[in-house]
Structure 1
Amino acid sequence: MSKHGFFQITQKLFLRDGNSLLVLRDQKSGHGDLPGGRMNEDEFFEDWMDSVYREIKEELGENIKIEVNPKPIFVHKHMVNEGNFPCIIIAYEAKLIQGNVQLSDEHDYMEWVDIHSFDPKKLFSEYMLDAVQLYLNQYA
């Protein structure tokens, strides 16, 4: 008899400014990343958007104002780089309202890329690459 799995939840944003999409690079792994991150244990029974906005404040700074559509656009599998934990990505669309990104030390690179011409294979890998390609195929 197989046992039930335990999986972490990471909420990731496809943050847009018009036709530009914000992409990041994880400082530790060197792999492409999107804004957002894993939900803490105490956030599970709260409003999940609180977890999203906490992560955005941590990763993109206090000065940025965004609007997140709370309805997920898709769910995807992922392996967290650190520790290789199996994880569920819940993907949301978001748009930049105002402000400039101030990267935390979690990421060492960012770029606003054109959704029509961006090739995610240069930055992303594995499941995150699949998720970004899925998004670009649907929304670009």
Structure 2
Amino acid sequence: MSNHGFFQITQKLFLRDGNQLLVLRDSKSGHGDLPGGRMNEDEFFSDWSESIFREVSEELGDQIKIDVNPEPIFIHKHRVNEGNFPCVIIAYSAKLVEGIIQLSDEHDFMDWVDISKFDPSNLFSEYMLDAVQLYLKKYA
């Protein structure tokens, strides 16, 4: 008899400004991160993009305008730092339209990196590193 698993869903954005990709660092874990985050229980049966925009506004402030392609670019496994929960990353590509990012206290570092030169292994680890490498291989 098999046990069905319960997994959280995190939606992450590969946010670009031209050739530059926004990378963040999680304040608690010190690991690399991307904008976005876990879906709340009450968001599951709504439009999932609402969850993305809630997270973006929490993490990057409401001074920015972004354009998110609603078609996921890939799905990947992940383990959430907090509580080590198994999690599914749904990755989307997004473009910065305008505005200035104001980091919340969830992240203590941000950088716009050139996708053709960036080595994610200095910042990212584990499944997030795999996901970023997958993205760079496909889109850099």
Report TM bin, short chain.
Answer: over 0.9
Amino acid at match of 1:61: G
Residue deviations 1:55-103, cap 9 Å, x none?
A: 0000000101000000000000000000000000000000000001100
Match of 1:126 in 2: 126
Q: Is 1:90 equivalent to 2:90 in the alignment?
A: yes
Q: Is 1:104 equivalent to 2:118 in the alignment?
A: no
Percent identical: 79
Q: Under a length normalisation based on structure 2, what TM-score does the superposition of the two structures give?
A: 1.00
Amino acid at match of 1:42: D
Alpha-carbon distance in structure 2 between the residues aligned to 1:82 and 1:55: 16
Alignment of structure 1 residues 36-75 onto 2, 5 Å: 36-75=36-75
Alpha-carbon distance in structure 1 between the residues aligned to 2:77 and 2:100: 30
Amino acid at match of 1:8: Q
Alpha-carbon distance in structure 2 between the residues aligned to 1:111 and 1:90: 22
Q: Under a length normalisation based on structure 1, what TM-score does the superposition of the two structures give?
A: 1.00
Match of 1:2 in 2: 2
Amino acid at match of 2:123: L
Amino acid at match of 1:136: L
RMSD: 0.3
SS of alignment partner, residue 82 of structure 1: coil
Equivalences, count: 140
Q: Which runs of 5+ in 1 are unaligned?
A: none
Residue deviations 1:6-58, cap 9 Å, x none?
A: 00000000000000000000000000000000000000000000000000000
Displacement of 1:2: 1.7
Flag as ranges the 4+ runs of structure 1 deviating above 2 A. none
Alpha-carbon distance in structure 2 between the residues aligned to 1:5 and 1:115: 35
Residue deviations 1:90-134, cap 9 Å, x none?
A: 000000000011000000000000000000000000000000000
SS of alignment partner, residue 28 of structure 2: coil
SS of alignment partner, residue 77 of structure 1: strand
Q: Which runs of 5+ in 2 are unaligned?
A: none
Match of 1:113 in 2: 113
Match of 2:28 in 1: 28
